[in-house]
């Protein structure tokens, strides 16, 4: 399969690329690194990306940012950034990218554990993650030509925790999380929220 991975140079994206590249042709996309560059918060950038890339069998998004702050500190700009980037960025990847996905192909988006297990400071992130999960369930009913869509919900990533100065052992290594993305791409499920912890 020819698979486009958005966020290919990120903490999760790198091991996803490595895992998929064992059996597939992988095209890497990032904001500044990769075979192609794109800003997922810009629909115009995504239209240009897919026009340049052309047809593919699968689209994987390991991209998207949202603000993490206590509720009283979250501004309208913080919510607008989170919605435009992680939520609508991935929604638009699916909407625009579906036109370029071959029959019976797939789309895999990224949410996160904070959709179902929020913590203090996660209001904006929990909002966009939950929105993405609802979007995928509904989009699965509408996508044409047998195209599937799922979201992977990773827990805290060990490498991210370490970068934050916290104990990485309490998280899940990104290389293990990557197995959930492979299962979404190579499996037959659609409209599913795939808990990456099942692959630990």
The structural domains of the chain, ordered by start, are 2-199 (3.40.50.720)
pLDDT at 61: 98
Q: What is the pTM of this model?
A: 0.94
Q: What separation in angstroms does the CA of 54 have from each of 7, 62, 100? A: 18, 20, 6
d(CA 172, CA 170): 7
What tokens does 65 get? 């940012």
Cβ neighbours for 173, distance < 8 A, ≥ 6 positions apart: 157, 158, 159
List the pLDDT tens digit at each of the 200 positions of the chain. Answer: 999 999 999 999 999 999 999 999 999 999 999 999 999 999 999 999 999 999 999 999 999 999 999 999 999 999 999 999 999 999 999 999 999 999 999 999 999 999 999 999 999 999 999 999 999 999 999 999 999 999 999 998 888 788 877 877 878 888 999 999 999 999 999 999 999 999 98
Q: How far is C-alpha 9 from the geometric centre of its chain's CA atoms?
A: 13
């Amino acid at each position: 399969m020819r698979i486009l991975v958005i966020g290919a140079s990120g903490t999760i994206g790198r091991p996803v690329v490595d895992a998929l590249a064992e059996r597939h042709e992988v095209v890497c996309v990032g904001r500044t690194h990769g075979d192609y560059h794109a800003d997922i918060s810009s629909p115009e950038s995504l239209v240009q990306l897919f026009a340049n890339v052309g047809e593919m069998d699968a689209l994987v998004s390991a991209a998207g940012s949202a603000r993490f702050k206590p509720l009283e500190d979250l501004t309208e700009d913080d919510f607008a950034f989170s919605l435009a980037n992680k939520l609508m960025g991935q929604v638009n990847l699916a909407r625009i990218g579906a036109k370029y996905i071959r029959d019976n192909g797939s789309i895999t988006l990224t949410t996160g554990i904070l959709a179902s297990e929020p913590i203090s400071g996660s209001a904006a992130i929990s909002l966009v993650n939950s929105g993405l999960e609802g979007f995928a369930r509904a989009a699965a009913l509408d996508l044409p030509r047998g195209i599937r869509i799922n979201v992977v919900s990773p827990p805290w990533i060990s490498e991210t925790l370490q970068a934050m100065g916290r104990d990485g052992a309490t998280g899940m290594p990104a290389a293990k999380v990557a197995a959930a993305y492979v299962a979404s791409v190579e499996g037959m499920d659609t409209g599913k929220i795939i808990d990456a912890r099942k692959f630990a």
